[in-house]
Amino acid sequence: MDLEDLGPKSVLVPPPLMPWREFANWIRMGEEHDIVWGWIRNDYIPSRKVGKHVMVNVALLTAQLLEQE
């Protein structure tokens, strides 16, 4: 996916929950998915297990980041 493929809404309005690998791609971590998994394991970013899938709570992460500003 190139930046040209992304419209303004897809960049500005993330879903409230996102699979952790898709989140890693969304924040442009490239091949560094292990770093994102480490953030989840160390509770640096909020996550929730839904069935067998680990989802990043993007809505809560956004709220936490805005609160810190």
pLDDT, the chain, mean: 86
pLDDT band at 6, cuts 50/70/90? low
Q: Is the pLDDT of residue 8 over 80?
A: no
Please report, for residues 1, 11, 21, 22, 36, the alpha-carbon distance to residue 4 in angstroms, rounded to integers and kept in the order given: 8, 11, 21, 18, 25
pLDDT tens-digit readout, 12-37: 677 899 999 999 999 999 889 999 99
Full-model pTM: 0.75
Q: Name the more confident of 14 and 56.
A: 56
